[in-house]
Amino acid sequence: MSTLKTLNGNQSVAEAARQIDPDVVAAYPITPSTSIVETIAKFKADGLITGEFVCPESEHSAMSLCIGAASGGGRVMTATGSQGLALMWEMLYIAAGLRLPIVAGIVNRSLSAPINIHGDHSDTMGARDSGWIQIYSENCQEAYDNFIQAFRIAEHLDVRTPALVGLDGFIISHSLEGIQVEDDEKIKKFAGEYKPVYPMLDTDQKKTVGPIDFTDYYFEHKRNQIEGIENAPKVIEEVGKEFGKEFGREYGFFEEYRTDDAEVCIVVMSSAAGTCKDAVDELRNQGKKVGLLKPRVFRPFPHRKIAEVLKRMKAVAVLDRSSSPGAFGAPLFTEIRSALYDYPERPKIVNYVYGLGGRDIKGEHFKEVASKLERIAKTGKVEEIYGYINLRE
Amino acid sequence: MKKETWKELTLGTINLNAGNSVQNLTGTWRSGKKPQFIEDKCIQCFFCWLYCPHHAIEVQGEEVKGIKYDYCTGCGMCSEVCPPKEKAIVMVKEEIKLAERSSK
Ligand code: SF4
Ligand code: SF4
C-alpha cells in the first residue's frame, strides 16, 4: 500500500533513490539540488541504503565518477543543476557516448551571469544535444514517479542511454506537497535488477572502454549512439503504462489538458503547467476553447505525437523557460514549429520566453497569452512571432 | 580489413578485441630516421626499454637485443636516454620506400 507523505521535490527524488538504492551515488552539492544529496547522505549514515555514497571535489568529478562506476558495472545516479550541470558538460557527452545508463536528478536553475539561484530551464536546455534522455516534472509526485521510471528507461537494453529528470528549482524542489510514496518492495521490484553490459569489473572478459576513434570509426559509433535514444520512445511508453498499472498514475510523452475541442493551445512544461491548468479552467468557464499541452519528454522529442495534437488548433503559443540567443525561437518552440512543418493544415504559432531566473508566471499571464491566441485565431495574422512574458519593457 | 557498419559495433564503443594494438604497425609513421642498436656498446641498463613509447625495444631472455621496426616510430627517445658515452643506440638516416609502406 502506498503512503501519503509530505515531501518537497528534492526529498521526493531522494526517497525514490532510497527505494531503488543504486550501487553508487556520486554528487556535489549546489543550490537548489543540495538537499537531494544531503538526504541521500543521511540515508547512508542511517544505514538505510547499501550503495556507495561518494562526495568528489566538483560536478565534473562527480560525473566522471559516475562514468567510472557505471563502466565498472554499477547502477549509478547523481543530482545537480545549473552551474553544476554546466561543469559536467564534457562528461555528459562521454556518459552518453559510452551508453552508460546513469540517472541524474536535475533541479532546473538559471545559468550565470548574472548570478541567480532560481529556477529556469537554461541548464538542461543547454545540454539538449548531449545525448541524454530528458524528462520534466510538473510537481513533486511527478519528480518521484519520473525518477523511478528513468532507471527502467535508461537501462533498457535497446536504449542504454543516460537519463535526466528535471524539476523546477525552488518552485518544486523546495515546495512541500502530499505525495504518494509506494512500498519499498514494490519499487524495488519495478526497478528490477540491473544487468550491466560488458562491465569492466568482469576481468575474465578482456576489453577496452572508450578507445580512440578517428575518421574511420567515430561516425559509426555516433550513429550507433543515436539509435539508443531513438529506441527510447517505445520503452518510455511501455514503462509509463506499466507504472500506471502498478501504481495508478500512467505516464506518456506529454499531458493534454482540455485539448479535445480546443481551438487554441498553450504549450508549457514543468511547474508552470500547473498554474496554466487553473487559468485554462477559468477561461473554459468563460466559454473559451483553450487547451494546454504539457510536454514531459523533451529528449527524445515526441515530434509526431505532439504535431498530431496541435495540427488541428487554430493558434498555438509555445512557452519556453529558457532562451536560445540568436536562434529563431527558444528550444521547445523550434522543435514544435519544425514538427508541424510537414502538415499541410497547421496552426499559427508563436513563442514566448517566460520565467528566466525564477521570474513568476501567474494565471493572468496565461490569460493574456490565451487572448493573444484568440486574436491570432480570429484574424489569421501573427504580428509578433517571438515575445516575452512578465518582462519590464 | 573490413570495417564494421554502425549496426555491427559493440555497445558503448567497447572494444572486445583487447590488445589489438599489435595490428597497428606504428613503424609506418617513421619519417627519415631510425634507431640503430650497437650490441657491444650496450650496458643492459634497460633505459631504452623503459622510455620507448611504443614498446619497440626487442628483448630476448633478459637482454636488450635490438629494435622492433614494425612498431618503432623513430622518435629518438631511446637514443637520447642511452647512458654510455658512446651510445648503444644511434639515430641513422633511413630511406623511405613509399610503395612498400603503403602496401602495409
Ligand atoms: S626511436 Fe622511439 S619508438 Fe623507436 S625504439 Fe627508439 S624510443 Fe622506441
Ligand atoms: S639504453 Fe642503451 S645501454 Fe641501456 S639497454 Fe638500451 S641500448 Fe643498452
CA angle A124, A125, A128 (to 5 degrees): 90
Q: How many CB atoms lie within 10 A of CB A83?
A: 18
Determine if ligand 1 sits within 6 Å of the CB of residue B82.
no
Closest residue in chain A to residue B12, using alpha carbons only: A98
Q: How far apart are CA A242 and CA A222, in angstroms?
A: 31
Nearest to A300 by CA among A141, A129, A105: A129
Output the pLDDT for position A168: 98
- Segment A320-344, tens digit of pLDDT: 999 999 999 999 999 999 999 999 9
* pLDDT of B100: 61
* C-alpha B44 – ligand 2 centre gap (Å): 5
Q: Of the CATH numbers 3.40.50.300, 3.40.50.1820, 3.40.640.10, 3.40.50.970, which one belongs to the domain with range A3-247?
A: 3.40.50.970
Residue-averaged pLDDT of chain A: 97
A307/A296 Cα distance (integer angstroms): 15
Determine, yes or no, domain membership for B75: yes
Q: Residue A131, exposed/middle/buried by CB under 10 A (0-12, 13-18, 19+)?
A: buried
Mean pLDDT of A74-88: 98
- The Cα B19–Cα A206 span in angstroms is 9
B61: containing domain = 38-86
Q: How far is the CA of A45 from the centre of ligand 1 (A)?
A: 53
| A201 touches B at CB < 8 Å | no
Q: What is the mean pLDDT of residues A19-46?
A: 98
A160 C-beta neighbours (distance < 10 Å), count: 21
Q: Kindly indicate the confidence band of residue A1, based on its pLDDT and cuts at 50, 70 and 90.
A: confident
A230 at B interface, C-beta within 8 A = no
Work out the number of other CB atoms within 10 angstroms of the CB of residue A245.
9
Residue B73 within any structural domain of the chain = yes
The answer to whether residue B70 is domain-embedded is yes
Q: Which amino acid is at A231?
A: N
Q: State the Cα–Cα distance between residues A391 and A319, nearest whole angstrom.
A: 14
Q: What percent of chain A has pLDDT over 90?
A: 98
Looking at the domain assignment, is residue B5 inside a domain?
A: no
For position B103, what pLDDT does the model report?
A: 43
Mind listing the pLDDT tens digit for each residue in A206-234?
999 988 889 999 999 999 999 999 999 99
User: Within chain B, which residues score under 50 in pLDDT?
Assistant: 103-104
For A74, the 3-state DSSP assignment is coil
As a whole number of angstroms, the distance between CA B103 and CA A259 comes to 67
Above 70 in pLDDT, residue A4?
yes
Residue A393, pLDDT above cutoff 50: yes
In-domain check, residue B53: yes
Which listed ligand is nearest to B37 at the C-alpha? 2
pLDDT at residue A284, as a whole number: 98
What CATH number is given to the structural domain containing B76? 3.30.70.20
Nearest ligand by distance to the CA of B55: 1
pTM summary value: 0.91
Whether the CB-CB separation of A110 and A116 falls below 8 Å is answered with yes
Query: Is the Cβ–Cβ distance between A53 and A45 less than 8 Å?
Result: no
Does position A298 have pLDDT exceeding 50, yes or no?
A: yes
pLDDT at residue A95 in the model: 98
Could you check whether A3-247 and A254-388 share the same CATH topology?
A: yes
Provide the 3-class DSSP secondary structure of residue A263: coil
Residue B74 lies in a domain: yes
- Nearest ligand 1 atom to alpha carbon B89: 6
Number of domain units in chain B? 1
Ordered by start, the domain boundaries in chain A are: 3-247, 254-388
Count the neighbouring beta carbons within 10 Å of the beta carbon of residue A307. 17
H or E stretch at A245: helix A232-247
Check if CATH label 3.40.50.920 holds for domain A254-388.
Answer: yes
